[in-house]
Amino acid sequence: MFKIAILGGGVVGSGVADILIDKSKALSERFHKDVSLAYILDIRDMTGTKYEPYYTNDKEVVFSDDDVKLIVVTIGGLDLAADFCRRALKSGRHVVTSNKEVVAAVGRELTLLADENNVRFLYEASSGGGIPIIRPLNLCLASNDIYEINGILNGTTNYILTCMYQDRLSFDVALKNAQAAGYAEANPSADVDGYDAARKIAILSSISYGKFVDYNDVKCTGIRDVIYDDHEFAASAGYAIKLIAGSRNTDKGVTCTVEPKLVPKSNMLASVNSVYNAVLVKGSYTGDTLMYGQGAGKLPTASAVVGDIIDILTDANKQALPGFVHNNAVVIEDTEACDKYYVRINVSYDNESDDIKDAVIKCFGDKALFLGASLSNHSIVAFITEKCTAADFTAKLDAFCDITGAKAEYKLKVID
């Protein structure tokens, strides 16, 4: 008897239930075990729904059943979900979770706890939703030294940015549309301010580099200050604006950021639109490897959860403790890195366009790209600099503003 309990019957939890109800017979036949969904624990009343046969609001019913071998934790938040994970692991049960907050905050504690109790703690759905990424990092790409990760890891922000450009919308209107479509929460801060993506890139970086990256150390900038004109300018120069979660493993430490960037149309990430996500991994042998798919949603995320359940049923991929359990990353800011910068400025009508262009060339060099004025507001002007360090960029921008009297309203790094 291999009973499964789901703690949290919300969007993801109910999706996992749907798949298990549909596939329990096939799983039982494939793995020669009596696999079945036994319980769905939730504070909401599920009587009168198709989940009623599995519903309970009493956690003790779940934990007192010795035939429950695996617990799926799909409730949100940190404290209660983490406590459920700890209790399940200590009782000798496998745990699968989609909760990125738990994995980012206490994932290595739970990994150790699982090892001590000879069970497994898996979390494929925590970082890419329906995109297979953690298992490929642990298995398919294991021979590689992974040295860089860049990804679009939040479907909500990607949907908003896509709508802003395609439908010529402001951020506020695009956000309301995302909320109406069910892609954004009533309080969207975790998504639009980059915290959700920060947790995900911290998890992926920890696995890839074998060193624990604390998500609190991830430098995070959201998308609230992006306006439609930024998309217009970016497109005119052959770029798309994306919220990029990125990290790089260097001799000095790990750089780890979440920030909007201009991505060239030649880059695979530039064509990832709407709620789709993608992760671009750079390995010593494979070079660039792209994983792409729906990063959120009921069934895509549930599919990743059930993939972990199947991994446990096969008992084929149990590995040694990952390096991040014992090693801490030194998260640094790479002050020596040279980047191009996109700058949006506000100028007075007294300034001629040629004067602004001349000032851009004077301050930033003849390789700087002057993008002109916005079609909808001629006081909004933009340009892209040549490569320079952050310190050099700040000094040159200050000089430019002094010369022109312009106000620098927004700046973004450009992926070259």
Structural contact between residues 234 and 241, judged by C-beta atoms closer than 8 angstroms: yes
pLDDT at 86: 99
Residues 61 and 12 in one domain: yes
**Residue 18: partners with Cβ closer than 8 Å, 6 or more residues away:** 299, 302
Name the domain boundary from 123, 152, 184.
123
Known catalytic residue at 200: yes
Q: Does the pLDDT of residue 319 top 80, yes or no? A: no
Please give the full DSSP string across 47-59, using - where no structure is assigned.
TTSTTGGGEES-H
**Residue 272: partners with Cβ closer than 8 Å, 6 or more residues away:** 152, 158, 242, 278, 292
* Phi-psi category of residue 95: left, alpha or beta, with phi > 0 → left and psi -120 to 50 → alpha: beta
d(CA 246, CA 82): 26
Residues 214 and 157 in one domain: yes
39 token code pair: 């319980």
pLDDT at 317: 63
Pairing of strands 146-152, 239-249: antiparallel
- Any idea which of 192-201, 311-320, 372-381 has the lowest mean pLDDT? 311-320
Name the domain boundary from 260, 276, 295.
295
Q: Does the pLDDT of residue 279 top 90, yes or no? A: yes
Q: Does the pLDDT of residue 396 top 90, yes or no? A: yes
- Any idea which of 85-89, 138-142, 253-257, 394-398 has the lowest mean pLDDT? 138-142
CATH number for position 240:
3.30.360.10
pLDDT at 295: 82
**Does any domain span residue 301?**
no
Average pLDDT over residues 150-158: 97
Residues 188 and 271 in one domain: yes
The string of pLDDT tens digits covering residues 331-371 is 999 999 999 999 999 987 566 677 899 999 999 999 999 99
Give 259's pLDDT tier (boundaries 50, 70, 90): very high
Structural contact between residues 131 and 309, judged by C-beta atoms closer than 8 angstroms: no
pLDDT at 372: 94
d(CA 39, CA 265): 48
pLDDT at 111: 97
pLDDT at 391: 97
The string of pLDDT tens digits covering residues 50-79 is 999 999 999 999 999 999 999 999 999 999
d(CA 105, CA 180): 31
**Does any domain span residue 319?**
no
> Rounded mean pLDDT of the chain?
95
pLDDT at 31: 87
Q: In 10 A of CB 193, how many CB atoms?
A: 17
Average pLDDT over residues 106-134: 95
168 token code pair: 């010529």
Q: Does the pLDDT of residue 193 top 80, yes or no? A: yes
Q: Does the pLDDT of residue 185 top 80, yes or no? A: yes
pLDDT at 187: 96
Residues 223 and 138 in one domain: yes
Residues 291 and 154 in one domain: yes
d(CA 190, CA 196): 5
Average pLDDT over residues 321-333: 92
Give 375's pLDDT tier (boundaries 50, 70, 90): confident
Residues 111 and 165 in one domain: no
Please give the full DSSP string across 147-194, using - where no structure is assigned.
EEEEEE--HHHHHHHHHHHHHT--HHHHHHHHHHTTSS-SS-HHHHTS
Average pLDDT over residues 232-241: 98
pLDDT at 408: 94
CATH number for position 345:
3.30.70.2040
Per-residue CA distances from 57 to 21, 40, 44, 91, 99 (Å): 20, 8, 8, 20, 20
Q: How many domains does the chain have?
A: 3
Q: What are phi and psi of 184, to 5 degrees?
A: -125, 145
pLDDT at 74: 98
**Does any domain span residue 328?**
no
Residues 53 and 165 in one domain: no
Q: At what angle do helices 298-314 and 11-31 cross, to 10 degrees?
A: 30
Average pLDDT over residues 257-265: 99
Q: At what angle do helices 195-209 and 100-116 cross, to 10 degrees?
A: 30
Q: Does the pLDDT of residue 160 top 90, yes or no? A: yes
**Does any domain span residue 267?**
yes
What is the domain extent for residue 345?
340-414
pLDDT at 349: 59
pLDDT at 376: 86
**Does any domain span residue 325?**
no
Please give the full DSSP string across 247-282, using - where no structure is assigned.
EEE-SS-EEEEEEEEEEETTSGGGG--TTEEEEEEE
Residues 141 and 98 in one domain: no
- Any idea which of 70-84, 285-299, 304-318 has the lowest mean pLDDT? 304-318
Q: At what angle do helices 228-236 and 155-167 cross, to 10 degrees?
A: 80
Residues 154 and 72 in one domain: no
- Any idea which of 6-15, 54-63, 238-247, 318-327 has the lowest mean pLDDT? 318-327
Average pLDDT over residues 241-257: 98
d(CA 323, CA 326): 6
**Does any domain span residue 403?**
yes
50 token code pair: 């198709």
Q: In 10 A of CB 137, how many CB atoms?
A: 23
**Does any domain span residue 375?**
yes
Residues 118 and 255 in one domain: no
Give the residue from 131, 135, 149 showing the smallest Cα distance to 283.
149
Place of tokens 């403790």: 321
Residues 255 and 384 in one domain: no
Q: Which of 200, 211, 242, 413 is catalytic?
A: 200
Percent of the chain past pLDDT 90, that is, above it, reads 90
**Does any domain span residue 61?**
yes
Residues 113 and 238 in one domain: no
pLDDT at 316: 62
Name the domain boundary from 295, 323, 356.
295
Q: In the 8-state DSSP scheme, what is residue 341? A: E
